[in-house]
Amino acid sequence: GNNNNISHTNNNNNENEDYISLDKLKRGNIIGEGEFGSVYKGTYVNLKGEATSVAIKTLREDQVNQNNIKTFLVEVQVMQKLDHECIVRLIGICKGPPLQMVQEYLALGSILQYMDANKEKIRPNHEFKMWAAQIAIGMNYLEQQRFVHRDLAARNILLATPEQAKISDFGLSRMVGMEDFYRASTGGKWPLKWYAPESYNYAQFSHKSDVWSFGVTIWEMFSFGAHPWGDMKGAEAIKLIDSGQRLEQPNACPKNIYDVMLQCWDFDMNRRPTFSELVKIFQSEPEHDY
Ligand code: ACK
């Protein structure tokens, strides 16, 4: 039960409380490619003998190295500590080989995919505001657990139903220290266009820098999945941001929601809203205001 070390050997084929045994897991079709691995749809037979749909994340063979395994295990260890309806749930890990992370299956995939397939059906003030509220609720919970996400983006928001969005992808997540921030030691491969100035300038990550990324995420939503800063390089985009430029108001975005985005993108992190304020903003604004 209390063991995070997944490298110890376990020759017992039966299910134990730490690992999912290979025979309880069936891998189906591939549903997506991440940077280091693939995601499959699959079936997991739980302890009661019931078959449930799951998403199985693996490391691609050509990507199995110490660094990627570390990222993979960090994601597992963060997700093991989280328990919230607005956050994708980890079911367990299977040592394989190959090493597999088993998560609850969110049938509709990411909001990017959903928006692409349902352009005509979506009412921005309904779906987008509801998803924004759910993301803020999940992020507020994450803040209470003292984690920074560091990769909040539309690609990492998944839908269980059109009315239930959840936050996923905790590979970059870290616990914050006493000072409420995490200082990264190396750059790594960062999603610069989603990052706050203090993050790309000083490698400093906090709940406030997650709030900045939240602003970019809702911008992507109200832009129906457009790419922030188009195909500009991240290094170019951050120069514009440093000089005071911000992403433009999307056509489908009401003025008062764009104002919230601009507040999330305040250079001074202390002037950005908190996630608990964002929850209130997106839960309380009546639709007919727009
Ligand atoms: O947009 P998508 O279908 O949603 O494509 C990506 C792909 O895998 C690579 O990340 C999908 N994905 C990731 N985790 C899950 C999950 N728990 N349930 C369903 N789809 C998932 C994601």
Alpha-carbon distance values, 28 to 65, 105, 143 (Å): 25, 12, 35
Mutate to test the pocket of ligand 1, among 29, 33, 35, 39 (most ligand atoms within 8 A of CB): 39
Q: Could you count the other beta carbons within 10 Å of the beta carbon of residue 245?
A: 12
The whole-number pLDDT of residue 137 equals: 98
Q: Could you count the other beta carbons within 10 Å of the beta carbon of residue 183?
A: 13
Residue 151 appears among annotated catalytic residues:
yes
Atom of ligand 1 at shortest distance to CA of 39?
A: 8
Q: Give yes or no for residue 257 having a pLDDT over 50.
A: yes
> What tens digit of pLDDT does each residue of 63-82 get?
889 888 888 999 999 999 99
Q: Could you count the other beta carbons within 10 Å of the beta carbon of residue 269?
A: 18
* Selected catalytic residue, list 18, 151, 231, 268: 151
51 vs 154: CA distance, rounded Å? 30
> What tens digit of pLDDT does each residue of 48-60 get?
999 999 999 998 8
Over residues 143-163, mean pLDDT: 98
Atom 6 of ligand 1: nearest residue by CA position: 32
**pTM value > 0.90:** yes
Mutate to test the pocket of ligand 1, among 106, 108, 112, 172 (most ligand atoms within 8 A of CB): 106
Over residues 201-221, mean pLDDT: 98
